[in-house]
Amino acid sequence: MRARYREVNTVYKRRYAIRIALLHPSTYQASLTSLGYQILYYMLNALPGVFAERVVNDSSPPRSIETGSPLANFDVILVSAAFELDYPVVYSLLASSGINPRRERREQEDPLIIVGGPSPTANPQPLYHIADAVFRGEGEKLVEPLVEALASSSSKKKALEALASAEGVWIPDLKEDARIVVVEDLDSSFHPIRQIQSLDVEPVWGKSLLLEPSRGCDKRCFFCLEGAISKPRRERSLSTLKRIIDEGVSVNCVNKVAIYALRPFGSPQGQKLLEYIIERGLEASIPSVLLEDLDEHLIELMKKAGQKTVTIAPETPVRALQNRIGKTYAREKLLEIARAVRKHKLSLKLYYMIGLPGESIEDVKAIVEEVKEVRNIVGDFQKIKVSITPFIPKPLTVLSRAQMDSPTSLKLKTRMLKRQLSEVVGRVDVYRISDALVQYRINKMGKSAIYLIEELARLGGTSWHLLVEQRIRKETSGGLEELG
């Protein structure tokens, strides 16, 4: 029996010729915060003869939210995969739905499986044995060619052949040279005004209007996947954004705007947008901000907009490593922002990376020293949170060919940081090393990643995490002392 969600702005249709499942391999709550997912949902359902339904990872076998239909009943399954760890989940969801996850073993009557998202865009190869096609680029560019191919074809094979002529479509053994395609003009591209609003489930940043003021980033950090695949940076005009806000908050009955952008304050328009949100008496949810884009005035605006935390990602305090990853900052700038955060009684969240190419133990210890300096300024240690993430070389980035740090080294570094930072700040979050290692391995294995994906799907999330962690613990036992 399907899970029933009470929500508004859901689309239902009685007549349709093409049924499309939008598969989000995460929770219902997570799907509510994905603007790209909602863009596809409303774009597809705006077309006559097309009914797109949402499917999330909330039951086994999964069923659509709108009609409770199993995945096997659809003509096409469009999978939104944010990163590599989604692949084993997709494999399991297909298998539990009676659809063979292996492309070459599926029947002609099975749905077409098309996968998109940042990780598939950067490297489609690991999906060679699962996907009938991978879309490399921004999803809006797929809608028209996909529907045309389905409407004009009498079989799955013919639909794929028709789809092969579209830019950005990567098809195993048929077209493996697809280039990445992006939306050139955001002002003329679709942005949903009506958005799914759950009556029972609270999104992580609260009930709000999702707003995308810009796309891409011109910073081009050497490790950043999204900056590498979504370029150049593009902006919607302020007049368009104001119209979306005016109509959207009314239609969705919300009083908060969730800003959805890689670099929200990469131009003066960002502050003007925030000022307009404040003028309208609305609150804003603001993502991580580049340190160089921050100043006290912006922090004051963030406070007025109801933001409780300023989030920035210094990555590393060591200048040599900053140069190596293409993201530099002055220590005094960070301390200046810490003083502004204290003045306006906000909290501060800092993201750091470990395992960077050429990194030493002293470089890792420098993170603790920098955080101590920040804490001394902010004062209340409970108002500072630190997140530690292992560096993962990603395809298409400048550092794609770099080696990932060893599991032993990463475990020892995270133990040290967790222990020492816990005495300095209110909270320390450490990204799972096992998750980072699996992402790295899947990309490195290419087409043969299917064997790892199958093994992960067979074990299930909890089991394979335990297995990897046990191996790391065995390797690192007794090695902590050398780090001090």
Cα–Cα distance between 145 and 341 in angstroms, integer? 48
Q: Beta-carbon neighbour count of residue 369 at 10 Å?
A: 11
**pLDDT value for 459:** 86
**pLDDT value for 475:** 59
At 205, the pLDDT band (50, 70, 90 cuts) reads confident
DSSP letter assigned to residue 181: B
**pLDDT value for 484:** 31
**For tokens 């800092």, what's the residue?**
350
Cis before residue 70, ω within 30 degrees of 0?
Answer: no
Per CATH, the number for 197-456 is 3.80.30.20
**Averaged pLDDT for residues 246-253:** 98
Query: With 70 as the cut, is the pLDDT of residue 446 above it?
Result: yes
**Averaged pLDDT for residues 223-227:** 95
Cα–Cα distance between 187 and 325 in angstroms, integer? 32
Cα–Cα distance between 324 and 420 in angstroms, integer? 26
Query: With 80 as the cut, is the pLDDT of residue 353 above it?
Result: yes
Burial label, 148 (beta-carbon count in 10 A; 0-12, 13-18, 19+): middle
Q: Look at residues 372, 409, 394, 447 and name the one whose alpha carbon lies nearest to residue 172.
A: 447
Domain residue ranges in the chain = 7-170, 197-456
Q: Look at residues 348, 280, 360 and name the one whose alpha carbon lies nearest to residue 317.
A: 360
SS3 241: helix
Amino acid at 376: N
**pLDDT value for 480:** 36
- State the average pLDDT for the chain: 94
Cα–Cα distance between 352 and 388 in angstroms, integer? 5
SS3 180: coil
% of the chain exceeding 90 in pLDDT: 90
Q: Beta-carbon neighbour count of residue 205 at 10 Å?
A: 17
Q: Which two tokens stand for residue 435?
A: 């998750």
Q: Look at residues 364, 356, 438 and name the one whose alpha carbon lies nearest to residue 404.
A: 356
Determine if residue 383 is left, alpha or beta; phi over 0 gives left, psi from -120 to 50 gives alpha, anything else beta. Answer: alpha
**pLDDT value for 204:** 86
**pLDDT value for 479:** 41
**Averaged pLDDT for residues 114-126:** 98
**pLDDT value for 140:** 96
DSSP letter assigned to residue 451: H
| Beta-bridge partner residues of 7 | 198
At 215, the pLDDT band (50, 70, 90 cuts) reads very high
**pLDDT value for 460:** 80
DSSP letter assigned to residue 184: S
**Averaged pLDDT for residues 460-476:** 66
CB-CB contact of 42 with 36 (8 Å): no
| Beta-bridge partner residues of 209 | 257
Burial label, 30 (beta-carbon count in 10 A; 0-12, 13-18, 19+): middle
CA distances from 154 to 69, 99, 148, 151 (A): 23, 21, 12, 8
**Averaged pLDDT for residues 434-463:** 90
Cα–Cα distance between 89 and 397 in angstroms, integer? 25
27-54, pLDDT tens digit by residue? 999 999 999 999 999 999 999 999 999 9
| Beta-bridge partner residues of 61 | none
Determine if residue 308 is left, alpha or beta; phi over 0 gives left, psi from -120 to 50 gives alpha, anything else beta. Answer: alpha
7-170: which CATH architecture?
Answer: 3-Layer(aba) Sandwich (3.40)
**pLDDT value for 22:** 99
Query: With 60 as the cut, is the pLDDT of residue 476 above it?
Result: no
Contact partners, residue 138, CB within 8 Å, separation at least 6: 36, 181, 182, 183, 215, 230
155-191, pLDDT tens digit by residue? 999 999 999 999 999 999 999 999 999 999 999 999 9
Cα–Cα distance between 345 and 347 in angstroms, integer? 7
Rg (the chain; Cα; Å): 23
Query: Which of residues 415 and 470 earns the better pLDDT score?
Result: 415
